[in-house]
Amino acid sequence: MKTPPFKRSLKNNFFTLDGRKCLALAAATALIANSTAYASSKVINDAGTTDEEKQKITFSGSGYVGYRHDSNVSVSELDTNSNVDDSAVQSKALLKVSVKPTNEWENELSISRADTRYQTLSEFDLGLTTLSASTKYTLDFAKLGAHYYHASATLDGRDFLTYQQYGLSAGKLLGQRTYLRISSDLIDKKFKNRPEDAPIRDSEAVALRSDLFYFFEGDDFFQIALKYQNEDAQDNAFDYTGKGIDLAYTYPFAVFSKPLKLKVAYQLDMRDYASVQDSGIGREDDRQLIEMSADYAVYDHIDIRLSTQYGDYASSVDGANYQETIAELGINVHF
């Protein structure tokens, strides 16, 4: 079947952008490296500066251990669910360095690792290593930024998925309480160790997102995001156009003189897959996710986290049509 013109155009654009991806990543790395050297020299050479001016490089990190119960262990990226409940130990670690050469220019590098280990369904054990880099510069009219995100996932101890995301963003404070951020991204997914008869899910995508934050008189705030994504897979059956909305409300307050942060969030993702005429199956997905969490600071650097989420993954494909509830209790140590 002949490839439609818009598909050929999308693929051509991705091949053209490969060089730009490498150039963008190299430029971001160089900028962050230069800013690190600049910040270090400023701290060493300016003996007479104030403490605030010396804080050019800062380090932060965290470690988390939690216990979760999953009503229906699943791998959404593979449209697979077990219809079996299980419990798991969840662990996470994060290390971040922030470099701020000037008041207007800030950079971040971070690396993290997350593991989910199930008691019974070890074939669903998931490991995730992520690396991210970002640079932002504040101008009079907006804050402009570039970011890169790389994730490597393992499933049951075997390489599973490599995910890369490159993007640009712009943010602007509107009045005293409203902040608007717009971003565009290129996404690349590559699946590994797939069975011989399994379809090729490798894909490239273009994504757009806008976030609007509204800050109330207290420290609470509301967030609404609009999302769009056009994904082009090697197997046309997995081509889709996605639209969605995210809503979240965060309310921090004190209990027994200790900070407590409550958050309620809702996500809706609607995907229209390739039609039969384009070698697809005309699949449609409507994914809804409701999350609630509470973070309580028992000590300055120790938080207790309680969270729950319910997902309704409605799809015209049986394997992708299921419900899932996850509850988790954990402790987070940070510095």
The DSSP call for residue 334 is E
The whole-number average pLDDT for the span 67-87 is 95
Q: Is the pLDDT of residue 295 over 50?
A: yes
Confidence band (pLDDT; 50, 70, 90) for 278?
low
User: Is residue 121 classed as helix, strand or coil in its secondary structure?
Assistant: coil
* pLDDT at residue 218, as a whole number: 86
- Give CA–CA dist 244/268, Å, rounded: 5
Query: E-strand spans in 7-140?
Result: 57-70, 74-75, 80-81, 86-99, 105-118, 126-138
- Give CA–CA dist 239/194, Å, rounded: 18
Q: Is the pLDDT of residue 64 over 80?
A: yes
Q: Is the pLDDT of residue 191 over 80?
A: yes
Instruction: Specify whether the CB–CB gap between 101 and 42 falls below 8 A.
Output: yes
* pLDDT at residue 194, as a whole number: 82
Cα dist from 42 to 53, 100, 102, 106, 183, whole Å: 9, 11, 10, 15, 32
Q: 224 vs 49, which has greater pLDDT?
A: 224
- Residues pairing with 67 in the sheet: 89, 329
Residue count of the chain: 335
28-42 residue pLDDT tens: 444 444 444 444 444
- Give CA–CA dist 6/29, Å, rounded: 34
- Give CA–CA dist 191/187, Å, rounded: 13
- Residues pairing with 61 in the sheet: 95
Query: E-strand spans in the chain?
Result: 57-70, 74-75, 80-81, 86-99, 105-118, 126-138, 143-155, 158-174, 178-191, 203-215, 221-233, 240-255, 258-273, 284-299, 302-315, 322-334
Calculate the average pLDDT of the chain.
Answer: 87
Q: Is the pLDDT of residue 95 over 80?
A: yes
* pLDDT at residue 302, as a whole number: 98
Residue 262 main-chain phi, psi, to 5 deg: -105, 140
Confidence band (pLDDT; 50, 70, 90) for 87?
very high
Burial class (CB in 10 A: 0-12, 13-18, 19+), 81: buried
102-147 residue pLDDT tens: 999 999 999 999 999 999 999 999 999 999 999 999 999 999 999 9
